[in-house]
Amino acid sequence: MLARPFINALAIAFAVVVLGSFAAGFLMLVPQMWPAGLYRWSVSSAAAKMDKRALLDLASRQLQSGNIEQALIGYRQVLSLEPTFIDAQLGLAKGELLAGREGIAKREFARALQLDSGNTTALLSLAEIQSHLPATWHEATTAYREYLRHKPDDDAAWLGLARVLAWQKRSQEAVEVFARNDVSSRMTAKDQRDYAFALVRAGLYDRAESVLNKLIAKQPADFELKVQLAGIYSARRDWDSALPLYESMLRTKPDDYQLNLTYGLGLLSLKRYNHALTPLEKARNLSTDDGRAGLGLARALKGTGNLKRADREFERILPHYETNAAIKREYADLLLERRDYRKAETYYKESHALGLRDDRLLVALAGALSGARKYKEAIPYLEDVYQREKTDRLAFDLAKLYQKTGRNDRALQLISEIESR
């Protein structure tokens, strides 16, 4: 009977010893049982609170040595402790940029500007990133200008500004920046090209011509440079200089609409009608939606004396010039020359209705009406002109109309006026 209580007491004592051992072991293992990341974060946070600058320096060294992802972790640790630490924010943005993640870098540099609106590193980096896409060229321009307000002596930034202005075709502004001495010395061949095109678009032809000639001498195969130079010559109507260039370019691109059109119009302006026919006809066939080539072809045909074909070409292009009184008068002149009086009358009247009322039109309209035997209708137009210009020719033509309408007394009076003069 005494053995059972003794055994129970002994078992209880053993259990207490075992439980105590397990409790001690558990207490020793508690730190190792925490989540590894949480434990390390706690240790690193404590260290960072003691010396954030040391952690920042470590991240910077990692960034310089190419350990970009490790550096980014360090920068984010610093920012988790102090979100307004500008150096850590800039480091984070630079790291994302070096990692090739421009979109993220752009956001991080923008956050840096929220912390320091005049931070030149963030402004310049943001401008350079924004200059890479047409959609953000306008923003890049703003960033470059703000940066240059703080750093006006940065030649490279001025060149960056000139480039985005040129790409946006803000030509006058681009020209002003490109022309700076500190910028021109840094320009690449592509920059020179952009500068030349900006000069052309700004209408500064003399300066553009000089730059283009220098570039063509170095890059004779650059087609677009020749197009721009030929365009300057044609704008000046300097066809002696322009036509050889167009001939050269047409050998390279014989089916180019704009080249054929401009070349043909140049020949037409020099009254080289037969030579103008081929390029103008080709241009007309290449683009039936544009009446310029057809109009040029009609004029060239008229110049060669082929009035019948010229008539057909004028009819073809008239839908493009429904409200153009001068073109309708020009067609009516051709019809009058062909003695198609009724049709000429129609187009002279349309020109008159569109507001063209000079003396030449009134005389021509009277001539068309007279040719169509509408003498009474012709008289008022010729009288109107004669009141302003009492020439013998007008008096004689008017006298003939009076005679044809039975107004012999008025006809004799005009003949008398002619004789007295």
* 381/159 Cα distance (integer angstroms): 65
CATH of residue 92 = 1.25.40.10
Pair (158, 135) in one structural domain: no
**Interacting residues of 257 by C-beta distance below 8 A, sequence separation 6+:** 283, 286, 287, 290, 293
Residue 259: partners with Cβ closer than 8 Å, 6 or more residues away: 227, 246, 249, 250, 253
CB 186 within 8 A of CB 178: no
- Long-range pairs for 55-60: beta carbons < 8 A, 24 or more residues apart: 56/85, 56/87, 56/88, 56/91, 59/88, 59/91, 60/91
201-207 mean pLDDT: 94
Query: Is residue 167 scored above 50 in pLDDT?
Result: yes
> Which of 220, 249, 278 delimits the end of a domain?
220
Say yes or no: 186 and 104 in one domain: no
Tell me the C-alpha distance between 299 and 315, whole Å: 12
State mean pLDDT over 161-186: 95
pLDDT digits (tens, 9 = 90+) for 3-41: 455 455 445 545 444 444 444 444 344 344 334 343 343
Residue 229 within any structural domain of the chain:
no
Residue 243 in any domain: the answer is no
C-alpha distances (whole Å) from 404 to each of 372, 398, 419 are 13, 10, 21
Residue 43 has pLDDT above 60, yes or no: no
Quote helix, strand, coil % in the chain, to nearest 5: 80, 0, 20
C-alpha closest to that of 62 among 75, 48, 47: 75
The residue among 320, 351, 319 whose CA lies nearest residue 333 is 351
Task: Tell me the residue range of the domain where 182 lies.
Answer: 153-220
Residues 143, 209, single domain; the answer is no
Cα Rg for the chain, rounded, in angstroms?
Answer: 44
pLDDT tens column, 279-337: 999 999 998 778 999 999 999 999 999 999 999 999 999 999 999 999 999 999 999 99
Judged against a pLDDT cut of 50, whether residue 238 lies above it is answered with: yes
Q: What is the DSSP string of 151-200?
A: -TT-HHHHHHHHHHHHHTT-HHHHHHHHTSHHHHTT--HHHHHHHHHHHH
- Number of domains composing the chain: 2
Is residue 236 assigned to a domain?
A: no
pLDDT in tens, 392-415: 899 888 999 999 899 988 888 888
Q: What angle do CA 64, 66, 69 make, to 5 degrees?
A: 110
**What's the whole-number mean pLDDT along residues 150-167?**
96
Confidence check: pLDDT of 373 > 60? yes
Q: Residue 8: its pLDDT value, please?
A: 52
Q: Which residue has the higher pLDDT, 113 or 52?
A: 113
Residue 51: what pLDDT?
A: 79
Residue 175: per-residue pLDDT = 96
pLDDT for position 4: 54
Q: How far apart (Å, rounded) are the C-alpha atoms in residues 224 and 252?
A: 12
pTM of the model: 0.70
Question: pLDDT tens across 51-86, in order?
Answer: 788 888 888 888 888 888 988 888 898 888 889 999
pLDDT at 218: 92
Q: 95 versus 288: which is more confidently predicted?
A: 95
State the residue for tokens 């009086």: 341
Angstrom distance (rounded) from CA 377 to CA 383? 11
Examine residue 189 and state whether it is found in any structural domain, yes or no: yes
Task: Name the least confident of 43-57, 119-133, 171-185, 278-292.
Answer: 43-57
Residue 317's alpha-carbon distances to 281, 314, 325, 327, in angstroms, are 13, 5, 14, 10
Mean pLDDT of the chain, nearest integer: 87
83 and 135: one domain? yes
| pLDDT for residue 59 | 83
What's the pLDDT score for residue 13?
A: 47
Same domain, 69 and 145: yes
Contact present, 314 and 344 (Cβ < 8 Å): no
Q: Which two tokens stand for residue 194?
A: 């952009």
